[in-house]
Each structure stands twice: as C-alpha cells, then as structure tokens.
A and B are shown apart, each in its own frame.
Chain A
C-alpha cells in the first residue's frame, strides 16, 4: 500500500467523521433512530452488566429482556452506539432514569450514539480513496471518496444512528476482502468473520454469500472455458466460500444475543419480517404506491433524480471500462494451479469489472422487481453507491487516459475532479440539514422534484427549528415523530419540558411532515387550527414540515 495514499485516506476518514459529527447536530432524529436509541441503551446496559459481573451471559431472561426491543434488526450498530453513549454522552437533563454521564461526557447522547455510524462512514470514505487510488491513481480515489460521501442522500444517512451507510461500508469491506481472498488464504479465513460482522450490521449482507459465490464460479468458468486452465477439486468450493458459509453465520450469531436461544424460531421470525415487510407509502410521479406492483423504473429514476448526472455518466464509463478489461484481458498461459487455499492465483482473471458491475447493479435490480416490498427511499439501494462511486473514479481516469491528452494535461486533473464532484457537493451543502429531501440539479432540485411528484421526505425528522415554538403548548400532536425520538429530544433538553404527545383532536399544537398520503393527518389538524400553519420548514421553498398552533 502506498504510504501517502494511506495518510490521505486516514485524513479523509477523520475529516468525514468530524464533519458528520458536527453537522448532524442540526439534523433531527428520524423515526427509526428513536427506537434504536432506546434499544442501544438496553443492549449496552446488558453488555455493561455482563462485563462488570452484575449480570451473566447465560441468564436467558435478562438477555431476552435486553434484546427483545427492535429484535427485527441485528444488534451490532446499536450495541456500539449504546457503548459510545456510555463513553461520551452528557448525562440526560430530563429523565426519570437514574443514569449518569458517560466516562468522558463531551456530547449529547444522540450525537454519541450516532458516532459509531459516522466513524464507519469515515472509514468507508478513506477506504474508497485508498482502493480508487491503488487501482487507478489518486484522482480516481478522490472521485470515489467524494462521489460517495458528497451525495446529499448519502451525507444525510451517513450521520444517523441507523444501518444504511454502515451496511454499505461493511459490504464494501467484505467485497474487497473477498477479492483479496482469491489470492491469499489469510484473507480467505478473514472473509467469513467479516461477512458475519456485515450480517450483524444489516440483513442486506445476506445477499453477499450467494453473489460472491456466483462471481467466483463465473471467474472459474471464465478461466477454464476461455483460457483453458485446468480446474482442481479444491477450487470448486474453496476456502473463501467455506469461510463465508461457516464462519460468517457463526460470527453473526455470536454477535446477536437475541438469537442465542430459540434460534430456529427467532431466525424464522427475522426472515419472515423482512420477506413480508409492509409496503410503505411512496410517491412516484404524483402517484401514491402502497401495494404491489411497484414500477420497475422506480429505483433507476430515483437514482437519476438524486445523484448528479455527471457522476452517473462516470459510473457507466467506469463500469464499461471494467467489463471491457475483463473481456479483453489477454490469455495467460503461465498461471499457477488454483487450490483450496488460493483459488485464483496470479494469472487467473478476477473479473474486477464484473464484480464492480454486479455490486453496483444488484441492489437496484432487486428493488426494481415488482414484488419487492416498497421500502421507501433511496437508502434501500445505498449499498450500490460505494461501488458506483469507485466505478466513477475509475471512469474519469480511464477516459482521461484514453483521450491521450498528454502528461502536461495531467495538471488539470484536480480541476476535473472538482468539476465532476461540484454538483453533488453544492447540493449537499445547500441542502443541509434537509438532505433527505434534496434532489439533483437536473431534476430542478427540491422544487423540480415537488413539481414532478417525487417523494418529499419521510421519517418525521425535520423538526429541530420548530422545537422552541412548542414551549408554550400544553401538548403536541407528533404526527410522524416517533414518541421515542421525542423522548430523546427531551432527555437532551431540546424538547420543552412538560409538553407531552397528544392526539390531533386535543393538542393545542401539531406537527405535520409532508408526504402525499399524509394529507389525511393535515386535515385532522385543520379541524383544530384552521388551514394556515404557524411555521413552515422548507428546503428551497418546498415545505418538509409545518407546525400548526391554536391561535389564542
């Protein structure tokens, strides 16, 4: 590894983490975070009890009590978040729990709980630079890193205590480890535990085993059929695949105490939950979808609508170049024989182009299937974005090189990188802290997307600027703010004291978060407060949330 690249990667990782940690103080708590905050506290309390001797690992009742909450998702990120809070969180300012501050209380509890995901996002950015730089030079690395984290939606999700960017980064790590494992038995051994960590982050990683196996066997078939290389028995099911099949599930299971008892039934519940996931209401070109079939074009159009076209064109270029390399790769006659431990040694094609294309396209293809439950936003194929941005970085450099502009033109490369990353960066900076509702420039930004009838937002998070106005209300209708998110604001002193949640029909103030199907709840507020809100939160003129308040 180039030492300079390593240092730049480290700097980017730290910079990303710090910017997310500071910037996301402005971002309200999304619905799911409310639940994850509560779960994190319980999981970390169990870990603390077990490690200090106040509890026992084998006490199933205590274990189940701790891990029952939010057991439809694995616990790794939530446990890390809870431990982070125990390390860095201020003491809650308003809560009945007899909890004290963290060991080094330097930030609010929510910020502390978001920190592990932010660090992982930083790690992902550093890794993308490193891989891009190693594969195609530092400017490819810069586009790979920037093309990921500078996307408004990625920047938004990267700062949350959630699993979407963590799983995107975890999948990148597993795929890179898999690539190394084809030529190194040590990486082959490590691959399984890394996959287990990814599965312990979010269920998306469950697709990795089959996908990477498919890629491996494609490489094997390519080497055998095209290059005429003999395939040994050990190559058929080699160490990396076995490691993923055996160590992966074991590590994932070991990291999820909820699964330690009644494993089969609980696993079955877990799979059923995600297989039969409810269909969220999603607006697409003015139509509200909440039942199958979903338009096949949905993830593709939404990707175009939320990722600057410049980066998409570079991604297509990079993927095309990679696939062309795979096909045009000269046959190698002096390849070593593959084995169980080193399945594809030097001389065997690893089909990097195919790997990158598969990892970029699979999440979008999966969501495109009309029978796949609607999960809502672009975050559900966010696992494609690290690979897409890596392809974009490679694409720019390959195009530049192929253009034959000469060595002197290389000095303009930083300008080219700034030009291609600019639209994403501007969108993210200008959209903060509402980037869940940000859209690409060619769509017309949020105004253009609203005109087209694309989803405005979800998760009821855009409330921070409205909180001071709630101080005079006796109670508030929360709409899409989860009660546990309200609880978190209250713990940190951001929610006015003695202002509980109440139904729209009784509360003197009410929140409303704009989505097409939410009109029904806004009408409830109109009955109490009239149709004119007291305050509106907007991104570039387009409302994301309103506060209705009874006029005295």
Chain B
C-alpha cells in the first residue's frame, strides 16, 4: 500500500468517524429533552421561602410559565446576589452561570448545599454567608421617597415623579442586555436629580448599582452620570459612571442606625443613540438602585 493510499484511508476513516459521531449526537441534540413534568417537579421541589434564580438564560420563558417564583421580578431583574443568604438555582445541566458569577460580585463563592435533578434540569441550593442582611431597599417602598429635580419637589408617587426640568421613573430596564429593576432619572443638562429617603434603617453599608438602559443608547459613549450619595445632609461619596461600565456597583460605608439618605444624579449633556442614529435631544438616562445591608466583616 502506497503512502498516498494510507493517507486517503486515514482520511476516509476520520471522516466516517466524524459522521458517526454526528449521527450519534444528533439523536440527543435534535429532540426536546425538557418535559413539562420535569419543570413541574422542579416547581414542587423549590423551597418558596428562598429566592430562586435561573442558571440557563434561554430557559427563561418556559420556566417563568411553569414556576411562579422564577416569574417574580425580584428573580428576573435582581440587582445582585447580596442580602440573600440562601437561594436555589435552576439550570439545564448547569448549577451556576456567568451571570450569577457576575452578580455574586466580590463575595466568595457560595456553598453548594444540595442538588436535585429532574431530567436534564438541575436544582441546586446554595448558602452565601457573606450575603449580609438587607435592612432597606430604595425600590421596595417607593411611596416613602421624595424626588427633587433642580431644587423643585416633583409630583407623583410610587412609580413616576414629574418636575418641570425632568422626571424619575421606577422601572425594569435592559442594562447590559439583562433586566434590572431600577429608578431611571431624566433631568435637563446639568440639573441635579435628587431622590430622598428619610428615616432609613441602615446596616453598615449602602450598596447600589448604576447602568444605562437601551442597547442603542450604549452604542457609543455618551455623557457620563455623576452620582452623589448623601447621608444626613453630608455628601458621603461621589462616583462617575459611563455607559460602557454595564451594571456598575458602588458601595458607601455608613454607621448602623437611622439616617436620611439622598442620592443625587447629574447628567451633563443630552444626546444619545437610538435605532435611527444619534438623537441630540434624547436624554441619556442612568438607572440606579440602592439598598442598605448589614454585612459581617464589612
């Protein structure tokens, strides 16, 4: 047998082998493997006293149809994994995900406490001792907050506040291609938007996130947002966020107790992108959330 024949036979064997693998794999990948019964079993196994997150993003629509806990906005549009010492994660052959890792932020990896499987679905239970305890959430009781734009107190409550120079709205926004529950601020150029919460029961840290909604608005870098956190009338921390930072976290140390908390947002210049191109008059809207936590060792 010549060298050419040997090579050709090896090539033929390799190609037939790849084809055989593809035939075999086709039997698994080209059929539905998640049954309604699997999802229902997962629903029944979920401990309703703890939150449940999804590790497989594409499972979302079907999972939300079957498992009410996954349809809750606190699960779909969570800010991060803080303040939740115990939770469950449902995934397709997955117990964890990049999105969960991102939301775990700088906390140590959670402890895996248990795992159940339902077909190819995996329900994993975790504990996170470093999660801290939530003492207050800006978004949880919007009736308790006041909004001032350019020094004027705005009308409205619960969901939307309007002033002459801008508005603030509680919403779910697409930030960095993920849903986030946040307060969107839209003030005129350079006009401060202040969100004030009086008598807040704080732990030892205030934690928040800021991001810019809309994938078109993030096409190019537009004006940054300056965020100032004020505790009992004193400016405590100041941050600058750009639309390239995604869902950007920030933290401010605070003495445990009861405080008046205000967060001020200033966007210097209007103008951003949308589907039709650059819109000079369109506001570049930062969206933020803020909570207070008691964290051991913080």
B30 and A536 form a contact (CB under 8 A): no
Interface flags for A54-96 (1: CB within 8 Å of B; 0: not) read 0000000000000000000000000000000000000000000
Contact flag A536-B26 (CB < 8 Å), given A313-B14, A519-B178: no
How distant is the Cα of A530 from the Cα of B23 in the complex, in angstroms? 41
Tell whether, in the assembled complex, residue B64 and residue A441 are in contact, meaning their CB atoms are under 8 Å apart.
Answer: no
Contact check, B18 vs A541: say whether CB atoms are below 8 A apart. no
Give the complex CA separation of A441 and B25 in angstroms. 6
B1 at interface (Cβ–Cβ under 8 A)? Answer: yes
Cβ of A50 < 8 Å from any Cβ of B? no
Give the Cβ gap from A74 to chain B, nearest Cβ, in Å.
Answer: 26
Most buried by B among A399, A431, A517: A399
Chain A residue contacts of B248, Cβ below 8 A: none
Quick one: which of B23, B61, B214, B216 contacts A422, CB cutoff 8 A?
B23
B4 touches A533 (CB 8 A): no
Residues of B within 8 A of A396 (CB): 15
Instruction: Check B174 against A520 for contact (C-beta < 8 Å).
Output: yes
- Residues B219 and A400 in contact, CB atoms below 8 Å apart: no
The 8 Å CB contact of B32, one of A309, A451, A540, A546, is: A540
Q: Report A310-336 CB contacts with B as 1/0, cut-off 8 Å.
A: 100110010000000000000000000
A538 on interface, CB distance cutoff 8 Å: yes
Kindly list chain B residues whose C-beta atoms are within 8 Å of the C-beta of A445.
26, 29-30
Asked if A533 meets B65 with Cβ closer than 8 Å, knowing A403-B5, A445-B30, the reply is yes
Given A533-B64, A541-B32, A543-B61: A402 touches B8 (CB 8 Å cut-off): yes
Q: In the bound complex, what is the Cα–Cα distance between A446 and B29 (angstroms)?
A: 8
* Chain A residues with CB below 8 A from B30, complex form: 426-427, 430-431, 441, 445, 540
* B239 lies within 8 A of chain A by Cβ: no
Residues of B within 8 A of A440 (CB): 22
Partner of A532, one of B59, B65, B177: B65
Is B139's beta carbon under 8 Å from chain A? no
Cα separation A542 to B33 with both chains bound (whole Å): 10
B235 at the interface (CB under 8 A from A): no
B215 touches A530 (CB 8 A): no
Q: Closest Cβ of chain A: how far from B177's Cβ, in Å?
A: 6
Q: Contact: B61 with A404, CB < 8 Å?
A: no
In the assembled complex, the CB of A284 is this many whole angstroms from the nearest CB of chain B, namely 13
In this assembly, does B172 line the interface, its C-beta being within 8 Å of a C-beta of chain A? Answer: yes
- On whether the beta carbons of B64 and A531 are closer than 8 Å, the reply is yes
CB distance from A461 to the nearest CB of B (A): 17
Q: How far is the CB of A227 from chain B (nearest CB, A)?
A: 25
In the bound assembly, the distance between CA atoms of A517 and B16 in angstroms comes to 39
The residue that A442 contacts in the complex, of B8, B22, B57, B219, with Cβ under 8 A, is B22
Which residues of B are found within 8 Å of A372, using beta-carbon distances?
none
The answer to whether the Cβ of B206 comes within 8 Å of any Cβ in the partner chain is no
What does the 1/0 interface line of B206-230 toward A look like (CB < 8 Å)?
0000000111100110000000000
Alpha-carbon distance between A20 and B219 when the two chains are bound, in angstroms: 40
**Known interface pairs A402-B4, A447-B29, A540-B29; A420-B61 also in contact (CB < 8 Å):** no
- Knowing A281-B215, A543-B58 touch, does A532 contact B19 (C-beta < 8 A)? no
CB-based contact A423/B19 at 8 Å: yes
**Residue among A290, A532, A533, A543 with most chain B CB within 10 A:** A532
Shortest CB–CB separation between residue B20 and chain A, in angstroms? 7
Tell yes or no: B179 within 8 A of A by CB.
yes
Q: How far is the CA of A450 from the CA of B62 in the complex (A)?
A: 14
Q: Is the beta-carbon distance between B31 and A442 smaller than 8 angstroms?
A: no
Minimum CB–CB distance for A300 against chain B, Å: 18
**Whole-angstrom distance between the Cβ of A36 and the nearest chain B Cβ:** 22
Of residues 3 through 57 on chain B, the ones whose CB sits less than 8 Å from some CB of chain A are 4-5, 7-9, 11-12, 14-16, 18-23, 25-26, 29-34, 56-57
Question: Could you say which residues of chain B place their CB within 8 Å of the CB of A523?
Answer: 172-174, 179
- Asked if B73 lies at the interface with its beta carbon under 8 angstroms from chain A, I say yes
User: Could you say which residues of chain B place their CB within 8 Å of the CB of A451?
Assistant: 56, 58, 92
Please name all residues of chain A whose beta carbon is closer than 8 Å to the beta carbon of B7 when the two chains form the complex.
402
The B-contacting residues of A in range 267-297, CB under 8 angstroms, are 281, 286, 288, 290-291
- Flag whether B71 is at the interface (Cβ < 8 A): yes
Q: Which residues of A contact B22 (CB under 8 A)?
A: 308-310, 422-423, 440-442
- Cα–Cα, bound, A520→B213 (Å): 9
Check A419–B23 contact: CB distance below 8 A. Answer: yes
A444 in the interface (beta carbon within 8 A): yes
**A527 adjacent to chain B (CB < 8 Å):** yes
A313 touching B15, Cβ below 8 Å: yes
- Interface status of A416 (Cβ within 8 A of chain B): yes
Given A419-B16, A519-B179, A532-B64, the answer on whether A442 and B92 have CB atoms closer than 8 Å is no
B197 part of interface (Cβ distance < 8 Å)? no
Q: Is the CB of A403 within 8 A of B58?
A: no
The verdict on A222 contacting chain B, using a C-beta distance below 8 Å, is no
B265 near A: Cβ within 8 Å? no
CA of A220 to CA of B57 in the docked complex: distance in angstroms? 56
- Is the Cβ of B26 less than 8 Å from the Cβ of A423? yes
Q: Mark A515-552, 1 if CB is under 8 A from B, else 0.
A: 01101100100110011111010101111001000000
Q: Which residues of B contact A422 (CB under 8 A)?
A: 19, 22-23, 26
Given that A309-B18, A310-B15, A447-B92 are known contacts, is A533 also in contact with B61, CB under 8 Å in the complex? Answer: yes
Name the residue of chain B whose CB is nearest to the CB of A517: B215
Instruction: Output the least CB separation between A295 and chain B (Å).
Output: 17
Contact between A310 and B18, CB atoms less than 8 A apart: yes
**A399 is contacted by which of B12, B64, B214, B215 (Cβ under 8 Å)?**
B12
Give chain B residues whose Cβ lies under 8 Å from the Cβ of A441: 21-22, 25-26, 29-30
Q: How far is the CB of A49 from chain B (nearest CB, A)?
A: 36
Which of B176-192 touch A at CB < 8 Å?
177-179
Contact B56 A427 (CB under 8 A): no
CB within 8 Å for A442 and B172 given contacts A404-B5, A448-B29, A531-B64 = no
> How far is the CB of A314 from the nearest CB of chain B, in Å?
6
Q: Is A540 a contact partner of B31 (Cβ separation < 8 A)? A: yes
Partner of B20, one of A419, A519, A520: A419
Q: How near does chain B come to A448, taking the closest CB pair, in angstroms? A: 6
27 A-B residue pairs with CB within 8 Å: A290-B215, A291-B219, A309-B22, A310-B18, A313-B18, A314-B15, A399-B12, A402-B8, A403-B5, A403-B12, A416-B16, A419-B20, A422-B22, A423-B19, A426-B30, A430-B26, A441-B21, A444-B25, A445-B26, A446-B29, A447-B29, A447-B58, A450-B57, A530-B71, A531-B72, A532-B65, A540-B31
**A-binding residues in B (CB < 8 A):** 1-2, 4-5, 7-9, 11-12, 14-16, 18-23, 25-26, 29-34, 56-62, 64-65, 68, 71-73, 76, 92, 98, 171-174, 177-179, 213-216, 219-220
Chain A residues with CB under 8 Å of chain B are 281, 286, 288, 290-291, 308-310, 313-314, 317, 396, 399-405, 416, 419-420, 422-423, 426-427, 430-431, 440-442, 444-448, 450-451, 456, 514, 516-517, 519-520, 523, 526-527, 530-534, 536, 538, 540-543, 546
Known: A430-B30, A517-B177. 15 other contacts (CB 8 A): A291-B219, A313-B14, A399-B15, A402-B8, A404-B2, A427-B30, A430-B31, A441-B30, A517-B215, A526-B172, A531-B73, A532-B71, A534-B65, A540-B33, A541-B62
Q: Would you list the 7 A-B pairs with minimal beta carbon distance, nearest first?
A: A445-B29, A402-B8, A423-B22, A430-B30, A403-B8, A450-B58, A441-B25
